[in-house]
Amino acid sequence: DTGVSQDPRHKITKRGQNVTFRCDPISEHNRLYWYRQTLGQGPEFLTYFQNEAQLEKSRLLSDRFSAERPKGSFSTLEIQRTEQGDSAMYLCASSLEGIRTYEQYFGPGTRLTVT
Amino acid sequence: AQSVSQHNHHVILSEAASLELGCNYSYGGTVNLFWYVQYPGQHLQLLLKYFSGDPLVKGIKGFEAEFIKSKFSFNLRKPSVQWSDTAEYFCAVSGGSYIPTFGRGTSLIVHP
């Protein structure tokens, strides 16, 4: 399967712990996006990369959130000192820069529960 | 800032009924409009999009949407729904960056 993959699919952590999620985009896609989705809401954009450059990060929710894409392939999203309000589904998507930039392919998400 | 409002949060229909899901947006520039769908247990996927040209756009599985600029609307329609259309539907708007702002979604249940 060459779709977007995310790992882990579920994560339960205690408040105050750090967590890291991984996203592997479709191999030829150079854009990678992170979203958060809470219950009853649509996905909320967090940040995106074009290759290894993080082009938009002002919408990360706080300075506890950070993302990397060191070699322009997979990406990680880290949340430090987790809070119960961080419980949500974290979605990754990728697209190919060009005439089909708009066509984002989403992964299955990582469901985070903070206890 | 751009925003999207979806009026119907839950819709229940019988098979063969017609569907219209409302979507209104707020954005100051040239808009790109999208409908995404998430079937149970599946990933979010693009259903259809509008960038320019014919305001009536057709997507997959018999869905269509009409862009009415004067009403800031982009309603989704299907003349006859099927049980397999049961899903969550999200309207989204973006500018030139193609980073969408999503509405909160409409849950559609179609009874056979």
Q: What is the pLDDT of residues A82-113, one digit of tens each?
A: 999 999 999 999 998 877 777 899 999 999 99
- CA distances for B105 relative to A8, A22, A41, B21, B95, angstroms: 25, 26, 6, 10, 20
Report how far residue B99's alpha carbon sits from residue B81's, in angstroms, rounded to the nearest whole number: 30
Decide if A102 and B102 are in contact by the 8 Å CB cutoff. no
Residue B82 to residue B66: CA distance in whole angstroms: 21
Sign of CA dihedral B24, A36, A105, B85: negative
Q: Tell me, what's the pLDDT at A2?
A: 76
User: Is A42 near chain B, with CB under 8 Å?
Assistant: yes
Burial of residue B56 (number of CB atoms within 10 Å: 0-12, 13-18, 19+): exposed
Q: What residue in B sits closest to A46 (Cα-Cα)?
A: B99
At B13-25, the pLDDT tens digits run 999 999 999 999 9
B75 touches chain A (CB under 8 A): no
- pLDDT given for residue B80 in this prediction: 97
| Residue whose C-alpha is closest to residue B20's, from B92, B59, B85, B76 | B76
- pLDDT of A13-72, one tens digit each? 999 999 999 999 999 899 999 999 999 899 999 999 999 999 888 888 889 999 999 888
CB pair distance less than 8 Å for A107 and B43:
yes
Whether residues A108 and B90 touch (CB distance < 8 A) is answered with no
* Sign, Cα dihedral of B94, B100, B101, B106: positive
Output helix, strand, coil percentages for chain B, rounded to the nearest 5: 10, 50, 40
Kindly state whether A101 is in contact with chain B, defined as any CB-CB distance less than 8 angstroms: yes
Residues 19-58 of B with CB under 8 A from A: 32, 34, 43-46, 49, 51
Cβ within 8 Å, pair B92-A108? no
